[in-house]
Homo-oligomer: A and B are copies of this chain.
Amino acid sequence: MDLIEISCLLRDKCLLDPQKPIVVGVSGGPDSLCLLHLLHRLGYTVIAGHVNHQLRETAGHDEEQVKEVCRQWGIPLEIERVDVRSFAQNSHFSLEEGARILRYRSLMQFAAAHSAQALAVAHQADDQSETMLMHLLRGSGMSGLKGMQYRSFNPAFSLDIPIVRPLLQVSRTEIEAYCAENSIEFCQDETNSETKYFRNRIRHELIPVLENYNPQVRLHLEQTGQILAEENRFLEEAAQRAQKQVLLRQGEGFFLLSRERFLKLDIVLQRRILRNWMIELRGEIRDISFSVVEAGLSFAGEKNPVLVKPLLKSLFLASGEGQNLLLYREDADLGDLWPWLSEPSLPWRLSDEKVNLSRHWQIRCEIFAPGEITFDRDPQVACFDADSLSEQFELMPPAPGDRFAPFGMNGREMKVGDYFTNQHIPLLARGHWPILRAEGRVLWVAGLRQAEFARVSESTRRILKLSLLKID
């Protein structure tokens, strides 16, 4: 291993400052102990961080080993024990993915507690090429082929503490030689996880086969990985900028975007945006396959799309109001977007001051004498002749076959469903749209149009004013 080269790389690629603390993730294996030793030796201020996954019998021994090494080298050590098994079970992650999440979470907590400039982890060159092949074989497509970077951010764990990987171009052989030279006593790497097993097959079976085709294949994979990692970052930055342009509203479990602006984007950005949002809504990358993303793109591009397209279990894309698209999870809080009635039926009386439809929506009721109010065309407001109405009302979503005579159309009746269609109200929104009824008659499609019935006239003595309010 070339110490000069590593020194330059720490400064120029990892952007590390020798004066500021760095937390180093230390499993106890050769890679992480080599990294810890190197940084310490080159004068960096290091704090070791060990996360005990409590998965294997040797976990306790590894922890002791790390303690002993840090004591010998005089390096402060933080230890956290995590319960991977129950976390994985509750969150439906694999043990391996669960362990990864808890590990990074703890290490980042150490880093934050020490005001560290970075979290250093010990991925090396062989990891890089094996990971690329693994992703290629598993078909993780876009995100898979990119290699790891010397310095990057993982927003899932920290927005401001970078993850650095100084050993990315050092091979396993070089690391083992370094450990031997410096008498570093490391633990044996764990080999029982599913990925480790797959990775081991790649390392011991597949790479030798590929080396028959080209002895330089490892080097080529590393170089390709480095380029793709940077190109991926560049594309991701472009996608982030484009995301801001197309996003109209983001809420719990949904993204509402401008279909028109989305379709004007390059397909490369469309694909990444859709994929990013799908991952964000699902909370994980699993199942967001090539064909799921393509199905979303194809729906977005259709001239006469069906109203809702299921993309995955509990993930949908819908053509929203007007020229919009709505990407949402089954449990999305769509009441954030449209007037929303949570209950199947909600009775109220003329004397009630207000009625809550859902956590976002409320109807306020006031009685005025003629001359006390002026009328405007605000669709959020409806005014009736209170004396033409009964005292009992009901709020319900539209029922099949509902009809009403919209105000100002000379009493001509139409289906509420057709009215929604004319107003470009998405199907999704209709199922919970609050409709005010009295004595079986539709009085008000809340927020859109009141019925002709019980309209305020010159003989009206008491005016009932209803206002639909959004509470943000």
Contacts and interface: CB of A to CB of B under 8 A. Distances in A.
Interface in A257-308: 266-269, 271, 290-291
A109 interface: no
Nearest to A237: B266
Given A235-B231, A268-B231, A220 B141 contact: yes
Interface string A218-256: 011101100110110111001000000000000000000
Contact of A213 (B201, B266, B291): B201
Give the contact-size bracket for chain A: 35 or more
A217 interface: yes
A81 to B, nearest CB: 35
A290 B223 contact: yes
Contacts of A228: 145
Contacts of A201: 213
A234 B137 contact: no
B141 A234 contact: no
Contact of A221 (B136, B230, B238): B136
A213 B223 CA distance: 23
Contacts of A202: 213
A224 B7 CA distance: 36
Interface in A178-234: 198, 201-202, 206, 209-210, 213-214, 216-217, 219-221, 223-224, 227-228, 230-231, 233-234
Contacts of A221: 136
Contacts of A408: none
Interface string A138-175: 11011011000000000000000000000000000000
Contacts of A224: 136, 139, 141-142, 144-145
A299 to B, nearest CB: 15
Contact of A234 (B144, B230, B233, B268): B268
Contacts of A267: 230
Quick one: which of A138, A233, A234, A238 has the most chain B CB within 10 A? Answer: A234
Given A209-B206, A213-B206, A224-B145, A230 B136 contact: no
Contacts of A213: 137, 198, 201-202, 206
A274 to B, nearest CB: 13
A136 B220 CA distance: 7
A100 B144 CA distance: 32
Contacts of A291: 223
A234 B139 contact: no
Quick one: which of A141, A238, A269 has the most chain B CB within 10 A? Answer: A141
Interface of A: 136-139, 141-142, 144-145, 198, 201-202, 206, 209-210, 213-214, 216-217, 219-221, 223-224, 227-228, 230-231, 233-235, 238, 266-269, 271, 290-291
17 contacts: A136-B221, A137-B213, A137-B214, A137-B220, A139-B214, A139-B224, A141-B220, A142-B227, A142-B231, A206-B209, A206-B210, A206-B213, A227-B290, A230-B271, A231-B235, A231-B268, A234-B269
Given A136-B136, A138-B214, A144-B224, 6 more contacts: A136-B217, A138-B220, A139-B223, A142-B231, A206-B209, A206-B210
Across the A-B interface, give the 5 residue pairs with the lowest CB-CB distance, nearest first.
A139-B220, A234-B268, A223-B290, A137-B213, A137-B214
